[in-house]
Amino acid sequence: MIRAARLALIVATALASVGFLALAVWQFQRLGWKEDLIARVERQVHAEPVSPPAASVSVSKADEYRRLRLRGRFEPREVLVQATTELGGGHWVLAPLRLDDGTAVLINRGFVPPEQRAPEQHSAPAGPVELTGLLRLTETGGGPLRKNVPAEGRWYSRDVAGIATELGLTGPVAPFFVDESADPAQPRRWPRPGLTVIRFANNHAVYAITWLALAAMSAAAAIYLLREERRRSLP
């Protein structure tokens, strides 16, 4: 019975080594994927701005952070979405921009602190405007443990479909929103644009090395136990 337990321990440590090795390989694969993602986003945020995709065109993760140039007029309505930024707590100001072709695109005009949340303190410019920004994917549902409550004006995420419904937008509505880029000519204006956080945690190499170390230790333990078992079995 004791020998059976020792053999089971040898098998368990060997299997653990194989499992840790598989996890290390997976983390190296994740590392390659993350490095490709970071490189793609870097290219897109520094590329020349392009026209926005049509409202009927589906967008995916590959389109996020693409630089866009938009022309149109802001409609006199908005939604405030709770936000925490490097400037503190406050709100994102989302307003619909009606493009020349009739499509409505929700623009995240930027951040306002609580004392600037009144519409008259950050009203959108009247007349035709041209702006650049980053394409962002819709954020459905709400924030962690906090659901959007449109009826009470409480928004915790930038849910394009929900906000478009709340604002009563008609005609085609783009399925994405756009984070407006900062305007060097107005560096201190409210809402404060250009606060998009583009940062991706990339600890996969550390994780992979950790799993490799555990795999090596498990393999060493299995070899040691196997040698001990052979020594015990010698006459």
Place of tokens 């493009």: 99
pLDDT computed for residue 168 by the predictor: 93
pTM: 0.80
- 32-67 pLDDT, tens digit per residue, is 888 888 888 888 888 899 999 988 888 988 899 999
Do the beta carbons of residue 220 and residue 13 sit within 8 Å? no
CA 116 – CA 90 distance, rounded (Å): 9
Q: What does pLDDT average to over the chain? A: 89
Instruction: Out of 2.40.50, 3.80.10, 2.120.10, 3.40.50, select the CATH number for domain 66-180.
Output: 2.40.50
- List, as own/partner pairs, every contact residues 156-161 make where C-beta atoms lie below 8 angstroms and the sequence separation is at least 24, other chains included: 156/81, 156/82, 157/81, 158/81, 158/92, 158/94, 158/106, 158/108, 160/106
CA 84 – CA 94 distance, rounded (Å): 15
Q: What is the mean pLDDT of residues 134-138?
A: 95
Polymer length of the chain: 235
The more confidently predicted of residues 6 and 78 is: 78
**Domain assignments of the chain as residue spans, ordered by start:** 2-41+202-233, 66-180
- 224-234 pLDDT, tens digit per residue, is 888 887 887 76
